[in-house]
Structure 1
Amino acid sequence: MKKVNLIAVLIALTSVTSFAQKAALPQKKMAQLINDEFKFAADQYKILSKNIPEGKTPQSFEKGKSVNYDIKWWCSGFYSGSLWYIYEQTKDNAIKNEAEKALKTIEPNQTFTDNHDLGFMMYCSFGNAYRLTGKPEYKAVIQRSAESLATRYRPAIKSIQSWNKNKYWECPVIIDNMMNLEMMNWTSDNGGDPKYKEIAITHTNTTLKNHFRPDFSSYHVIDYDLKTGAVRRKATWQGAADCSAWARGQGWALYGFTMMYRFTKNEAYLKQAKGIAHFILNHPNLPADKIPFWDFDAQGIPFTKRDASAGALIASALLELGQYSTESEKNEFKSAAETMIYSLSSEAYRAKLGDNGGFLLMHSTGALPLNSEIDVPLIYADYYYLEALARYKKWYL
């Protein structure tokens, strides 16, 4: 038994060392890296596109097989959104055609009201499409999607309900929901009903009140009493424990409050975003390559799984947060994001052409406690990686 355990430890140590060594390989200049990564993404996504059945959207690649889901899955908008980011940088018409095809596949989601994920599904996709093309039909889909998402707002709890009532929760609101508010804000600011932005602000204020600990870390799930509005429970679904800091959840919080500051200029949101950023960047369990373990409080650190999706998400958020910061903070956030981008673009995390089922990044973790999507590519990891590259080019080059 002792011999077996020693072998397992040695394998784990080798794995940790390998991440560090691969991520520390000689670095290209950022401008060249970004250019090369988008060219690679165009080639790789042409491979990915061949693995998607009609009417489905790509999610992952596990055990040598492509994983594709129904369009009502919360990640259905990330594929088209990624394609639009690639097209923006490469002007590859084959990529544009695939992006338009993917939009048609998910267009029926504009009337979906069964959970809170319409922003992920319809703004990451149609939002980027409208930004690049200006087509009024894309704007109409975004506006209709905001109307659908607004049906999830519950005045009693002053929040958008994330999931429907089930045996675990009465009225759950998850930190991920902050991301779906971008569509609400944008719609109101671009000719839509002002109520959407009002809902987004109210939801944000409730999240600020109930979701955070004194150290700026976030709970994953707050369960409310729908009759009284009182908090029933502060818990997790995908994190290591109710009291832990699930890595991607911290990324959702950072991105969400940074985005809400962009739309409102509310200093309380900016203060919160900076507090979250410092919690992440100063955490003793953040690895040197700055790609988090799947939970900052996970058992088995440093031998547990990484989450490249959290790293990509956080990098993108930090780049925006730097735009609203003092020079010293801007440099801090930019430097951290650079490290994350260099790490993700290294062979430690970025796949080789033709590998990984056509996905860009390896080593993401969806929901480890549920034994779901562990150490695999995930479509939203690619999306936020591409967004981080595009943001760096736009704001820092």
Structure 2
Amino acid sequence: MRIGISLLIIISGFTSLFLGCKPRDKSQETRENNEISSLLEKRYQNLKDYSVDSLAFPRSFDLVSGEIKKVPSKDWTSGFFPGNLWQLYLLTGDKDFKEKARQWNAFIEKEKFNDGTHDMGFKVYGSLGKALQVEENNHYKDVILESAKTLSTRFNKTVGCIRSWDFNRDVWEFPVIIDNMMNLELLFEATQMSGDSTYFNIAVSHANTSLENHFRDDHSSYHVVVYDTVTGAVKNKLTHQGFNDESSWARGQAWAVYGYTMSYRYTKRKEYLNQAESSANYFLDNNHLPQDGIPYWDFDDPQIPKSPRDVSAATIMSSALIELFEITGKEKYLKYSDKVIKSLMSEEYIISEDIEAPFILDHSTGNWPKNDEIDGPIVYADYYFLETLLRRRALKSKPNK
């Protein structure tokens, strides 16, 4: 199947979501669809053409230097690129994406024994988990189960959480970051695959403890909560990648909404749904959220509106809110996701077709305090963008959606 033909069908379908009953010049609409399809076709082709290399998972791209930041499988972002390829196969039907995804997956598998990281879900479930959406594969399931077993070794019963980072131990006795909510999906799935409730119980304990300690009164989230391993008490709360400790780091808010929406899917615990909705409403109703739905990297950066945006925060949130809409039926969540799709399907956010790099979207912000990966393409922004497109397509196929 040619990518361009299938993409045009997909883009035309998504464009129709935003037209309503308003009269529109059909020739103009066709031209716009063709232009968007052409841009995405080139971007998708760049992902497919990227050379397979076990030490060169593409993480981000510097538009000024033209350099691709490449990382080995131990990097927390490594699973997103093969995950992108699996999702592109689902979007386009092009079997070349599937074959490339299989090749990249093979380099991820050894991470199942890496007990020095909490990012097992991002790496293993983000790649092999997406593969299982395409094909039954008992080997992939075995890797996921081994990964869940390894991740479980980082759980501390006294704290009630999985340890996040291992660095800065002289300052942070037992740090837990809001991002870690995303890794619980691996554990929930491991219980479903194996019937062993141990993984489910660890995930619920982690979610419960984070629910109690990670959120402010306005339902925004701290980035890091540091615990005492002897008593389990909270020692400190901070926002390591935000503007300051009390600021609202945009991607952290998206992790929180996605994490608790996903946790509700597996547990049906009402408190998780309540937190997902409360944090989503904080994000959507924030006075500093731009009209196009793409947030600044931190809602409290005093340089707004001159601050860099974070497309990755928008795509994580847009994917989460499609699921939250399916659960609650509340239109505001779907409207935000549709707004993000519309905004990102423009020349402002899609990388120029003449740039040869395995990325789709521009204007993400990685780690602002370290001046690292600022206002450029980052692999996980693409991952959640593609997931948003797939979830929206699936939703559109349902009656009255």
TM-score past 0.5 threshold: yes
Aligned to 1:374, the other structure's residue is in SS state coil
Q: State whether structure 2 residue 31 is matched by structure 1 residue 29.
A: no
| Distance in structure 2 (CA, Å) of the matches to 1:75 and 1:55 | 13
Q: Distance in 1 between matches of 2:85 and 2:138?
A: 20
Query: 2:220 corresponds to which residue?
Result: 217
Structure 2 counterpart of 1:183, one-letter code: L
Q: What is the DSSP-based 3-state SS (H/G/I as helix, E as strand, rest coil) of the residue aligned with 1:366?
A: coil
Which residue matches 2:361? 361
CA deviations on 1:253-295 (whole Å, 9 max, x unpaired) are: 0000000000011111111111011000000000000100000
- Tell me what 2:159 maps to: 157
1:81-100 equivalences under 5 Å are: 81-100=83-102
**2:267 corresponds to which residue?**
264
Q: Distance in 2 between matches of 1:173 and 1:285?
A: 27
C-alpha deviation, 1:91, in angstroms: 1.9
Q: Secondary structure in 2 aligned to 1:223?
A: strand
Amino acid at match of 1:108: K
SS at match of 2:235: strand
Deviation at 1:156, TM superposition (A): 1.1
Gapped runs of 5+ residues in structure 2?
A: 1-13, 19-29
Q: State how far apart, in whole Å, the 1-side matches of 2:166 and 2:88 are.
A: 35
Are residues 1:142 and 2:180 paired? no
Contact 2:222–2:248 (8 Å) recurs in 1? yes
Match of 2:357, SS state, is helix
Q: Confirm or deny: 8 A CA contact 1:309 1:384 kept in the other structure.
A: yes
Preserved contact between residue 367 and residue 374 of structure 2 (Cα < 8 Å): yes
Deviations 1:223-250 (CA, angstroms, capped at 9, x unpaired)? 0111111101000210111101100000
Structure 1, gaps ≥5 residues long: 1-26
Corresponding residue number in structure 2 for 1:293: 296
Supply the AA of the counterpart residue of 2:77.
C
Residue 214 of structure 1: how far off its partner (Å): 1.0
Q: Is the 8 A contact 1:217 1:276 kept in 2?
A: yes
| 3-state SS in 1 of match to 2:146 | helix
Pick from 307, 315, 318 the counterpart of residue 315 of structure 1. 318
> Alignment identity in percent?
42
My pick for the range that moved more, 29-38 or 179-188, is 29-38
Tell me the distance in 1 between the aligned counterparts of 2:230 and 2:152: 19
Distance 1:350 1:128 in 2: 23
Matched, 1:102 2:104: yes
Count of aligned pairs: 366
Task: Provide the residue aligned with 1:183 in structure 2.
Answer: 186
Report the Cα offset of residue 396 of structure 1.
Answer: 2.5
Give the match for residue 69 of structure 2.
67
Cα shift at 1:106: 1.3
Deviates more, 1:278-287 or 1:63-72: 63-72
The answer as to whether partners of 2:46 and 2:356 remain within 8 angstroms in 1 is: no
Give the structure 1 partner of residue 371 of structure 2: 371
Local SS of the residue matching 2:115: coil
Residues 207-233 of structure 1 deviation map (CA, whole Å, 9 limit, x = unaligned): 000000111100000001111111010
> What letter is aligned with 2:123?
M
State the 1:340 CA deviation.
Answer: 0.8
Q: What is the one-letter code of the residue matched to 2:154? A: R
Q: C-alpha distance in 1, partners of 2:132/2:43?
A: 21
Equivalent-residue separation in structure 2 for 1:73 and 1:345 (angstroms): 29
* Equivalence for 1:281: 284
Q: Is 2:141–2:193's contact at 8 Å kept on the other side of the alignment?
A: no
Mean Cα deviation higher: 53-62 or 133-142: 53-62
Q: In 2, distance between residues paired with 1:353 and 1:133?
A: 31
2:115 aligned residue: 113
Return the letter of the residue paired with 1:369: P
Q: Which one is further off, 352-361 or 105-114?
A: 352-361
What's the CA shift string for 1:152-188, capped at 9, x where partnerless?
A: 1011100000012523311100000000000100110
SS in 2 for 1:190: helix
Which of 275-284 and 126-135 deviates more? 126-135
